Structure 1
Amino acid sequence: MAALAEGTPCWADAMFTDLEGAKSFYGDVLGWTFGESASEFGGYTQAYSGGKAVAAVVPPMPGQPEGTSAWCLYFASPDVDATARRIRAAGGELVLEPMKVGDFGSMLIARDPSGVPFGVWQAGAHEGFEKRGEPGGYCWAEVYTREPATSDAFFPKVFPFGVRRMEDGAIDFKVFTLGGESVLGRMEMTSDFPPELPPYVGVYFAVEDCDEAVARTTGRGGKVVFGPLDSPFGRFAALVDPQGAAFAVLDTARTTGELPALSQE
Structure 2
Amino acid sequence: MTEAATRRVPGAPCWVSLIVHGLSATQDFYSQLFGWEFRPGPEQLGPYVRALLHGKEVAGIGQLPPDRHLPIAWTTYFATKDADVTAEAIRSCGGTVAVGPIVAGSAGRMALASDPGGAVFGVWQAAEHLGTALAGTPGTPVWNELVTRETASVAKFYQAVFGFETEAVVSADFDYQTLHLRGRPVAALHGVGHGLPRDRGPHWMTYFQVADTDEAAARVTGLGGRVLHAPRDTPSGRLATVADPEGAVFTVVRPPED
Range with bigger deviation, 75-84 or 215-224: 215-224
Equivalences for residues 150-169 of structure 1 within 5 A: 150-169=153-172
Task: Indicate the residue corresponding to 1:183 in structure 2.
Answer: 186
Is the alpha carbon distance of 1:40 and 1:175 closer, same or farther for their aligned partners in structure 2, counting shifts above 3 Å?
closer
Out of 23, 29, 43, the residue aligned to residue 25 of structure 1 is 29
Does the 8 A contact of 1:175 with 1:182 survive in 2? yes
Instruction: Number of aligned residue pairs: give it.
Output: 254
Residues 66, 162 of structure 1: CA spacing in aligned structure 2 closer, same or farther, 3 A cutoff? same
1:51 match: 55
Amino acid at match of 2:29: F
CA distance in 2, matches of 1:181, 1:227: 30
Alignment of 1:2-13 (within 5 A): 2-13=6-17
Contact 2:150 2:190 in 1 (8 A): no
- Per-residue deviation, residues 133-186 of structure 1 (Å, max 9, x unmatched): 321111001001124223111000000100001123321111110011111111
- Superposition map of 1:106-185 within 5 A: 106-185=109-188
Which amino acid letter does the alignment assign opposite residue 190 of structure 1? G
Q: Does residue 1:79 correspond to 2:82, yes or no? A: yes
- C-alpha contact (below 8 Å) 1:11/1:54 kept by paired residues: yes
Give the match's secondary structure for 1:149.
Answer: helix
Q: What is the one-letter code of the residue matched to 2:97? A: L
Q: Which amino acid aligns with 2:79?
A: A
Which shifted more, 31-40 or 43-52?
31-40
- Cα separation, 2, equivalents of 1:16 and 1:153: 32
Instruction: Give the RMSD, CA atoms, in angstroms.
Output: 1.6
- 1:37 deviation in Å? 5.8
Deviations 1:10-65 (A, max 9, x none): 001111101111111111111211113654531110101111100011111354x2
1:192 aligns with 2:195: yes
> Matches of 1:236 and 1:133 in 2, distance apart?
16
Percent identity of equivalent pairs? 36
When residues 198 and 151 of structure 1 are mapped into structure 2, their CA distance, relative to the original with a 3 A threshold, is: same
What's the secondary structure of 2:40's corresponding residue? coil
> What is residue 247 of structure 1 aligned with on the other side?
250
Q: In 2, Cα distance between the equivalents of 1:114 and 1:122?
A: 24
Uncovered stretches (5+) of structure 1, i.e. residues with no partner:
256-265
Q: Is the 8 A contact 1:236 1:250 kept in 2?
A: yes
**1:202 Cα deviation from its structure 2 partner:** 0.0
Q: Deviations over 1:54-102 (max 9, x none)?
A: 0011111354x22331111100000001111111111110011211111
TM-score, normalised to structure 2, is 0.93
Contact 1:33–1:47 at 8 Å: present in 2 too?
Answer: yes
Q: 8 Å contact 2:196–2:202 — kept in the other structure?
A: no
For 1:215, give the aligned amino acid. A
Query: Is structure 2 residue 235 aligned with structure 1 residue 232?
Result: yes
Tell me, which stretches of 5 or more residues in structure 2 are unaligned?
none
In the alignment, is the contact (CA less than 8 A) between 2:147 and 2:196 conserved in 1? Answer: no
Aligned partner of residue 35 in structure 1, secondary structure = strand
1:214-244 residue CA offsets vs partner (Å, 9 max, x unmatched): 0001112212221311122211111111101
Equivalent position amino acid for 1:243 in 2: E
Tell me, what secondary structure is at the counterpart of 2:71? coil
> Segments of 4+ in structure 1 off by > 3 A?
36-41
| Aligned amino acid, residue 12 of structure 2 | T
